[in-house]
């Protein structure tokens, strides 16, 4: 036997280590311990491989979940209840702006003047019919916004429908305009919730065309009976009826949440 063969026979451990170092990562042969199980070196390598590369099942779950995620780069719109039919509601609107001479309409001015001014601008811009609907809708504010939001679902299928409904409401109201002084007679009734009073107040002031916005805001704040809400509204006076209604709704929702929390806390004691 040669000297080299003797050294190899006398050092079997070194031969195993060399094999493990050379072939272990490829998994050709795992060094075995005396008990016949994979050595600690190989176990550590497998754990490291799993932590870095990830188990194939977890990889599959991550890939599957990312596949079903929404494409967040796409334009998003908040789905709101409105009276337009699907073909108007889902129409792809072009990038456009309202001409500066077309003003908003809150129900207090002449409805025919507003219609004529808007229609003249729409013809000049060359908008498609659904764009007419959406752009006219964007001019409505205050009381006219309340009126539009109360229209029946999917009742407007064209600009003609919208114009006819608008005329029927506002031309009829011009014949029954209430004296602005009557706003002082709108009071919160005994047992009437603040939310119910707000809805009734919205409806009744629609006919008071001569009452300025500041008067409508002031009378609402004066007639409500909720002390916390009164303080909340006086801390930051609203600039519009819409803003005041939003602040009122937000405050009332907060009261409901606080009451529910206190009840749960009391029941846990």
Structure tokens at 76: 């998003």
Residue 18: per-residue pLDDT: 46
**Dihedral sign computed on CA atoms, order 44, 45, 50, 51:** positive
Rounded to the nearest 10 degrees, the angle between the axes of helix 213-223 and helix 194-205 is 150
pLDDT at 15: 42
pTM across the whole model: 0.42
Tens digits of residue pLDDT in 57-85: 444 444 444 444 567 777 766 666 689 99
Q: State pLDDT tens for residues 235-263.
A: 999 989 899 999 999 999 998 888 888 88
Q: How many CA atoms lie within 13 A of 223 on its CB side?
A: 23
Q: Which pLDDT score, from 0 to 100, does residue 220 have?
A: 93
Name the strand (E) or helix (H) holding 200. helix 194-205
Query: Which pLDDT does position 93 carry in this prediction?
Result: 85
pLDDT in tens, 109-118: 888 889 999 9
**Of 25, 42, 24, 46, which Cα lies nearest the Cα of 33?**
42
Residue entry with tokens 């809805």: 199
Q: Is 156 helix (H, G, I), strand (E, B) or coil?
A: strand
* Closest listed residue to residue 241, CA positions, set 267, 212, 207: 212
State pLDDT tens for residues 131-149: 999 999 999 998 899 899 9
Q: How far apart are CA 239 and CA 123, in angstroms?
A: 33
Q: How far is CA 54 from CA 42, 47, 63, 73, 203, in A?
A: 17, 10, 12, 28, 62
CA distance 20 to 45: 11
Closest CA to 187 of 178, 175, 196: 196
């Amino acid at each position: 036997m040669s000297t080299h063969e003797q050294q190899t026979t006398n050092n079997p451990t070194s031969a195993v280590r060399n094999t493990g170092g050379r072939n272990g990562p490829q998994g050709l042969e795992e060094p075995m311990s005396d008990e016949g199980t994979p050595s600690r070196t190989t176990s550590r390598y497998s754990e490291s491989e799993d932590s870095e590369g990830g188990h194939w099942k977890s990889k599959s779950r991550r890939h599957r979940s990312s596949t079903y995620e929404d494409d967040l780069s796409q334009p998003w719109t908040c789905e709101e209840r409105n009276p337009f039919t699907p073909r108007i509601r889902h129409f792809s609107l072009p990038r456009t702006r309202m001409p500066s001479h077309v003003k908003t309409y809150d129900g207090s001015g002449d409805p025919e003047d507003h219609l004529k001014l808007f229609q003249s601008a729409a013809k000049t811009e060359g908008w498609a019919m659904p764009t007419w609907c959406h752009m006219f809708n964007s001019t409505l504010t205050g009381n006219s916004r309340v009126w539009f939001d109360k229209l029946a679902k999917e009742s407007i299928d064209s600009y003609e429908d919208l114009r006819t409904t608008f005329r029927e409401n506002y031309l009829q109201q011009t014949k029954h305009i209430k004296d602005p002084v009557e706003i002082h007679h709108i009071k919160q009734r005994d047992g009437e919730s603040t939310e119910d009073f707000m809805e009734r107040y919205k409806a009744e002031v629609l006919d008071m065309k001569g009452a300025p916005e500041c008067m409508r805001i002031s009378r609402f704040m004066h007639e409500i009976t909720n002390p916390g809400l009164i303080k909340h509204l006086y801390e930051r006076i609203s600039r519009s009826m819409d803003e005041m209604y939003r602040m009122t709704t937000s405050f009332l929702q907060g009261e409901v949440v606080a009451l529910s929390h206190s009840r749960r806390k009391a029941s846990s004691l």
